[in-house]
Amino acid sequence: MTDIKTLLRPGCATLAPLAGYSDVAFRRLCRDFGADLTVTEMVSVAGLNYKSKKTVALLRTAPNETPSCAQLFGSMPEQFARATTHPEVAKFDILDINMGCPVRKVFGHGEGSALMLDPERAAAIVKALKTGGKPVTVKMRLGVKDSAGAVDFAKRMEDAGADLITVHGRTREQLYSGEADWDAIRRIADSVSVPVLGNGDVDENNIEERKQGVYGVAIGRGAVADPQIFSGSRKLTRYEVICRHLAYGEEYFGERYAVTALRSFIPFYLKGVPDIKRIRNAAMVCKDKESLLEVLKEADF
């Protein structure tokens, strides 16, 4: 089995998986700007077992995604084991398990962050995914209600065979409110021997500071707001970034879908722009590339 440290360097900056955002077009964009790893949106192992076309579509990869990583979610170890044999999963270099999603529907099914309440099941899932012969990583939170059991949970995942752990510095109940607890993240990093990536509130102003005491960082919303965060400099204007993002979306999904998908990014891309409300509202109703770009040209980036 490949050593995860040969795939990810110390001090790495990766794109965290983001449902509704980290599709193949955005991942390709982040790789252009230097992301060391990009992770798919979370993919249901149940959907793979049922041969859902929508689920399989989430596993498309870009030419520059090397190494590649797919994030899987579910609650049944046997479904994770079967997923390793799926041809669209087998092509990935790294397999990640979602043990951090706080969304009520996911949590209610015993998936995502709910697995932190059942360490035995979570460990069984890690072991099941390891049968695929690929490095297995875990993305977790500090806990459900508090962080009291976070270190023990991380150790349990390491003992089960996890090769790397990504820790979001909030509990499930916090969702994305308050500040990420990086002291708690570093306590976990100090307690396990596998690499730990810290996640939560990473931006261009603190990225180097956040890397201290952990193996690297996983950037989510900070990358949505500024995909060039991975490069350490801005060689393109925000308008040029949007044009490239839209071009990739059109290549993979067609113009209409690409324009619709980009709407989720518009509030982030326009942050700090004068007259943002008017421009955002106009952009949100555009149905084709030409009209969208015409509206965005008005923005004073």
Helix (H, G, I), strand (E, B) or coil at 193: coil
pLDDT at 3: 96
Residue 43 DSSP symbol? E
Under the banding of pLDDT at 50, 70 and 90, the label for residue 10 is very high
**Residues at the annotated binding site for FMN?**
71, 139, 168, 220-221
Burial 165-184 (b: 16+ CB within 10 A, else e): bbbbbbbbebeeeeebbbeb
pLDDT at 253: 96
* pLDDT per position as a tens digit, 62-119: 999 999 999 999 999 999 999 999 999 999 999 999 999 999 999 999 999 999 999 9
pLDDT at 23: 98
Query: pTM for the complete prediction?
Result: 0.96
* pLDDT per position as a tens digit, 234-260: 899 999 999 999 999 999 999 999 999
Average pLDDT over residues 267-285: 94
pLDDT at 36: 99
| Top-level class of domain 7-230 | alpha beta
Q: In the predicted model, is pLDDT for residue 49 greater than 90?
A: no
Mean of the per-residue pLDDT values of the chain: 97
Average pLDDT over residues 133-139: 99
Q: In the predicted model, is pLDDT for residue 294 greater than 90?
A: yes
Average pLDDT over residues 19-48: 98
DSSP 237-278: -HHHHHHHHHHHHHHHH-HHHHHHHHTTTHHHHTTT-TTHHH
Between 234 and 146, the higher pLDDT residue:
146
Quote the Cα angle for 129-6-35, to 5°. 90
pLDDT at 164: 99
Could you tell me the residue ranges of all domains in the chain?
7-230, 238-296
**Which homologous superfamily is 238-296 in?**
Putative flavin oxidoreducatase; domain 2 (1.10.1200.80)
- Known active-site residue 101: yes
Query: Beta-carbon neighbour count of residue 35 at 10 Å?
Result: 25
Cβ-defined contacts of 184-192 (< 8 Å, 24+): 184/142, 184/147, 184/150, 185/142, 185/214, 186/213, 186/214, 187/150, 187/151, 188/150, 188/151, 188/154, 189/213, 189/214, 189/215, 191/151, 191/154, 191/155, 192/154, 192/155, 192/158, 192/165
The catalytic position among 12, 30, 69, 101 is 101
Under the banding of pLDDT at 50, 70 and 90, the label for residue 186 is very high
pLDDT at 234: 87
Contact 48/86 with Cβ under 8 angstroms?
yes
Q: In the predicted model, is pLDDT for residue 301 greater than 80?
A: no
pLDDT at 1: 80
Residue 40 DSSP symbol? P
pLDDT at 178: 95
Contact 17/41 with Cβ under 8 angstroms?
yes
pLDDT at 284: 95
Lowest mean pLDDT among 6-10, 47-51, 193-197: 47-51
